[in-house]
Structure 1
Amino acid sequence: MTRLIVGAGGGGDAVAAAMLHAALYGEENPAVILTYAWDRLLIDAVPGPRRPTDFTGLERLTPAVWTVPARARPIAPAGSTLPRLAAETPHTFALIDPYQGAEGIIRQLEDAVRHLEPESIDLLDVGGDILARGDEPTLKSPLADALTLAACCQVNAPVRLLVAGPGLDGELPPEEVGDLLGPVVHTFTARDVEVISSVLEWHPSEATALLAATARGVRGACELRDAGPPVPLTDESPAVHEVDLDDAVSRNQLARAVMATAHLDEAEAHSREICGHCETDRERDKAPWLGEQLPAQLDPAVIRAQLDQFETEAHARGVTHTTFHRITEALNLNGSQRTELRQLLIDGRPEQYDAPLWRITTRAG
């Protein structure tokens, strides 16, 4: 009995898929998780999603679908979290290649379904930006979700759309998508998080980090990268909602526009037209600057003084928690130093580690 779970966006959805599978279906039979290799410059220095030719060591699942085993490696300068995910979880991670647009993803999905004959197919999105109209000013990364939604609604098999942690990606507030959310199929608990606890120690996904933290009972307001409005961490945050697939497509203008695309650049053009931007453009603009940002020496005394200043300002904004990605950004450090910085902070102030988030305090408090 095989379950197929499609991660709607990036690597964070794949991590959440592992948690979802254990919670809903048990751990006896691992899932096949179909996901993008798209780590948004956090791990990968190359803009855009990776395709099979960007890896060595892939294994063919079907003529159209490749899996990423633990021994696979991205070809430098590309990077990917998928080989390590494959090493630390029991699941099979299969690669979504969007370079032939939604039509290509449909072929990959139907090929996988014919081969696996899965017991169920779930399309999982953490945060809910898959339900965006496209014109929301806070929307940052709609393209991947729109492509998977467009493909899943056309595949010749029943697909259930699940949204976990509405609003936790910081792109759409929960009230923006609340009218589409259907019944709660599960609310994650601390026990559910145990299956991905080691992954959360290194994986860069912010939305899945918030999902796990709220499942462990963390409540408050979390500031993410780019210092947008703090994301509420509430009793509703760990919930997984079923959403009618047709309702989602009716709302998502970009998904409807990309349905017949045969190339990724066609989908990008639709994103620019409908949303006013495209995340691949943003990555192309940002990548050269990140490449020039050299790692700095992490002086503990300097880091703690900078952290105190950041926490004082964040506290004044009503922030109770933040991510290590946001701290790295706020301290103007190279993204490659996030893991080293994280360990330095946890070693120095372990009482502020609300795994996998950092709790904001002030030295006066």
Structure 2
Amino acid sequence: MNTGLAADQLVSQIQAWGQELSFSQIGIADVDLSSAEAGLKAWLSAGCHGQMGYMASHGLKRARPAELVPGTVSVVTARMDYLPRDTTDDWQAQEFERLQRPGEAIVSMYARGRDYHKVLRSRLQKLAERIEQAVGPLGYRVFTDSAPVLEAELAQRSGQGWRGKHTLLLNREAGSMFFLGEIYLDMALPVTEPVSAHCGACTACIDVCPTRAIVAPHRLDARRCISYLTIEHAGAIPEELRPLMGNRIYGCDDCQLVCPWNKFAQRSALPDFDERAGLSGAQLIELFAWSEDEFLQRTEGNPIRRIGHERWLRNIAVAMGNALRALESMDAQGCSTVKASLIARRDHSSGLVREHVLWALAQGSEENGGR
């Protein structure tokens, strides 16, 4: 390798290239994650990963980058802010207000635009190619939430931020509303230094979690997390958790919305993360009426497509059941409309959908035909 640059100068150059590619920050981590192995094993042993079998099937490769990609000696970490360009200053309050409108569907903010996997992966690939152009033949592999990688751990070690009590990464200048990605390299680079934690005694994220999925500071039980239940979980949603999901149909942002550090969250300069029409502020009954073809067409290039139409209907049915219960005392007409929409899917071909529709209908009173 002959770069013509000292190693620290190369890191500065990589950071500059990253900025040109719209990354918010670039860091460098080494590959010794041995101190994270005990915590990973304990989390997996407790079953906190739920149905995410891929987390266990790769063993400790998640904590051993050089086993995942032989020859890896350095990891370039990248983060990219994702708040839409037109996000208002009171966005956290506005998002919480959606929870008070039971007929409105809530999609997690990160999923309202283009699929971040596509956006980050292509730009990480370009960054890797620029590095290779500068240093000559290079072994590398790009990751964006696409392999057994301890993303937050690597990001923390490279100075991107610290782990909040909700387990997400926090940055003093950007909160937590950003995506992470990595480039595994077979080239040694000097690491960028980690930063200190700044959560203090705050427990806002733990206190606000609707399902109490944050079972202790820095410990998340995915089996109770609404993001897991609506996205990763393939079967029936546990009945005891359904009423706690409210009108959230894809993901949950509550622990981030309440976090004081997110007053510093940054808008993305990219149009990719602008909200797609029909996914923000839509009514549950509108989205529940989508045919499978309409679902595929409207979610093309969007992360929601990965759950498929069946889980989409399952999630919305739960939200509609919660809406029936909430609307009974304040909006008889709205209650009837939700009930009619559910009845239209009562004989759906999917047993999973039927089961959640029947549960939803049972949330209404006998007077409204719920039981």
Report the TM-score when normalising by structure 1.
0.25
Which one has the bigger strand percentage? 1
Report the TM-score when normalising by structure 2.
0.25
- Tell me which of the two structures has the higher relative contact order, counting C-alpha pairs closer than 8 angstroms and 6 or more residues apart: 2
Structure number with bigger Rg: 2
